[in-house]
């Protein structure tokens, strides 16, 4: 298209050749065929091509953006996850906890109390379950990966939704397809419990040759074996402590957060030893194979971690574990701060992202 038409006003000087198909009301320059719209278009072809490119970029962009907007690409919302996790229309949330660990989870007169129980309530509340809609079931160490708990009321084995039972996050467990951990909610370390003594144990290898009791299928048992101690395995830590009391074992070794409860509950009976074991035990919540549930549990922990006014974790620590600290000195019961939680992939309100 020739844009370099005659300058304005030139049409009147030289009358254009008549083009009969076009109606007479058209502006003269159109009829002449040498149509320009303004002087600025005399650089026209280049300008027109640039405009064309801009139009094409905008149109392609509009298609992409419309696709993104209509498809609703992006992380799911909390509501979507609840539906996906199967929490809607669920009457009760079943949670597996230990029942014999004072401070962490102890069942007395049919009521569960302790740090794990408080964390379970915290998570359940964010999943939309009131305390009355949460049901605790006792779970043993070996059943935590498979989430199988015994319902004493009906004497049946049931699969629980969540396992909050001093379950340490390890590589081997993470690799198990049946186990999916939430973010950690407590950081503690392995320790050793003996009857009241002035002797000091400073390493797990100091226990070599002694009868040491620990829980089956736990990280503590593996650590003891690595240190050259062959432990006696029990399914319940309370059996170990009873054996220690009666003299059947010389020591009990497991996590400090568990042992401190026994020292606190039985003043003057036991001594807890701050051994130089490396690495810490990070407790996580097992959600089974439910990916959406994992994200929701992480969201609950993330909120508790980031929300300054949310004191539930801190209150639980103060009530259950901090009180045990004087009795457990010099062993630290557990780190008095919630382990850091990464932001889960959930669509949340913008103001919730600020730590």
Partner 1 sequence: MTDRPQPILLGRRRRGRDQQWVLTALPAFPLLLLVLRLWYLSRQDLQTMLLLVQNVSPLGLIGSLLITLVWAPPVFILVGRALGGLLLVSSIDAGRSWLARTAGRTPGWVVLSAFAVAAVTWQLRFLPTLVLLLVVIFALDVRLRYEDYPQLVMIACIAVPVTLSLLGLLLVGPAAFDALRVAEPETAFLLLAPVLALPFLTGPVPAPTAMLVTHWVAMAGLVIGPILVAAIFVQAPVLPEVAVELKRDAAGLPSASDDVVVGETDVTVVRGQVITVDDRSTTLLETGGKVAFVPNTAVISQVLCPDPLDPPYSAVAVHGWQVERAMLSWLAPSRSVREPTDPRCLGRPVTP
> Interface residues with partner 1 (CB under 8 A)?
1, 8, 21-23, 25-27, 30, 35, 37-41, 44-45, 47-52, 54-59, 61, 64-66, 68-70, 72, 74, 77-79, 82, 87-92, 94, 128-130, 132-133, 135, 151, 153-154, 156, 158, 347-350, 353
Per-residue H/E/C for the chain: CCCCCCCCCHHHHCCCCCCCCCCCCCCHHHHHCCCCCCHHHHHHHHHHHHHHHHHHHHHHHHHHHHHHHHHCCCCCEHHHHHHHCCCCCCCCEEEEECCEECCCEEEECCEEECHHHHHHHHHHHHHCCCHHHEEEEECCHHHCCCCEEEECCCCEEEECCEECCCCECCHHHHHCCCCCECCCCEEECEEEEEECCCCCCCCHHHHCCCCEEEECCCHHHHHHHHCCCCCEEECCHHHHHHHHHHCCCCEEEEEHHHHHHHHHHCCCCEEEECCCCCCCEEECCECCCCHHHHHHHHHHHHHHHHCCCCCHHHHHHHHHCHHHHHHHCCCCCCCCCCCCCCCCCCECCHHHCCC
Q: How far is the CB of 126 from partner 1 (least distance, A)?
A: 10
Q: What is the DSSP letter of 246?
A: H
Q: Which is nearer to partner 1, 165 or 299 (CB)?
A: 299
CB of 19 to partner 1, least distance (A): 11
Closest to partner 1 by CB, 44 or 294: 44
CB nearer to partner 1: pick between 155 and 246: 155
Q: Which is nearer to partner 1, 69 or 329 (CB)?
A: 69
User: Closest Cα partner for 112 from 138, 133, 94, 150?
Assistant: 138
Give the separation between CA 320 and CA 325, rounded to whole angstroms: 10
CB 134 to partner 1: min, Å: 11
CB nearer to partner 1: pick between 137 and 257 = 137
Tell the smallest beta-carbon distance from residue 249 to partner 1 (Å).
37
Closer Cβ to partner 1, 133 or 314, answer by number = 133
CB of 349 to partner 1, least distance (A): 5
CB of 355 to partner 1, least distance (A): 14
Residue number, 149 or 244, with CB nearest to partner 1: 149
Choice between 62 and 248, CB closer to partner 1: 62
Rounded to the nearest whole angstrom, what is the least distance from the CB of residue 217 to partner 1 in the complex? Answer: 25
Q: How far apart are CA 271 and CA 279, in angstroms?
A: 22
CB 91, min distance to partner 1, A: 5
């Amino acid at each position: 298209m020739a844009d370099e038409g005659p300058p304005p006003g030139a049409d009147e000087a030289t009358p254009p050749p008549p083009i009969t198909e076009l109606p007479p009301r058209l502006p003269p320059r159109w009829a002449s065929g040498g149509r320009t719209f303004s002087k600025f278009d005399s650089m026209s072809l280049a300008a027109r091509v640039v405009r064309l490119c801009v139009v094409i970029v905008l149109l392609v962009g509009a298609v992409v953006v419309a696709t993104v907007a209509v498809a609703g690409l992006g992380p799911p919302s909390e509501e979507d996850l609840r539906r996906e996790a199967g929490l809607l229309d669920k009457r009760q949330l079943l949670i597996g906890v230990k029942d014999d660990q004072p401070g962490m989870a102890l069942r007395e007169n049919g009521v569960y109390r302790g740090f794990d129980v408080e964390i379970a309530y915290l998570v359940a509340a964010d999943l939309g379950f009131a305390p009355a809609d949460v049901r605790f079931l006792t779970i043993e160490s070996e059943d935590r990966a498979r989430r199988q708990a015994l319902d004493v009321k009906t004497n049946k084995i049931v699969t629980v939704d969540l396992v909050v039972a001093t379950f340490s996050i390890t590589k081997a467990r993470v690799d198990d397809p049946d186990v999916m951990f939430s973010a950690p909610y407590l950081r503690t370390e392995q320790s050793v419990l003996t009857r009241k003594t002035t002797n000091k144990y400073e390493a797990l290898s100091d226990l070599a040759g002694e009868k040491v009791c620990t829980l089956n299928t736990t990280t503590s048992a593996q650590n003891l074996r690595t240190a050259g101690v062959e432990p006696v395995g029990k399914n319940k830590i309370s059996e170990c402590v009873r054996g220690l009391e009666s003299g059947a074992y010389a020591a009990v070794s497991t996590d400090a957060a568990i042992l401190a409860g026994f020292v606190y509950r039985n003043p003057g009976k036991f001594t807890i030893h701050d051994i130089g074991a490396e690495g810490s035990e990070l407790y996580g919540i097992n959600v089974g194979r439910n990916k959406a549930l994992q994200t929701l549990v992480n969201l609950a922990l993330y909120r508790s971690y980031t929300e300054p006014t949310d004191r539930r974790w801190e209150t639980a620590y103060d009530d259950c574990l901090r009180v045990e600290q004087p009795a457990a000195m010099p062993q630290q019961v557990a780190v008095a701060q919630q382990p850091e939680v990464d932001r889960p992939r959930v669509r949340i309100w913008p103001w919730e992202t600020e730590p």
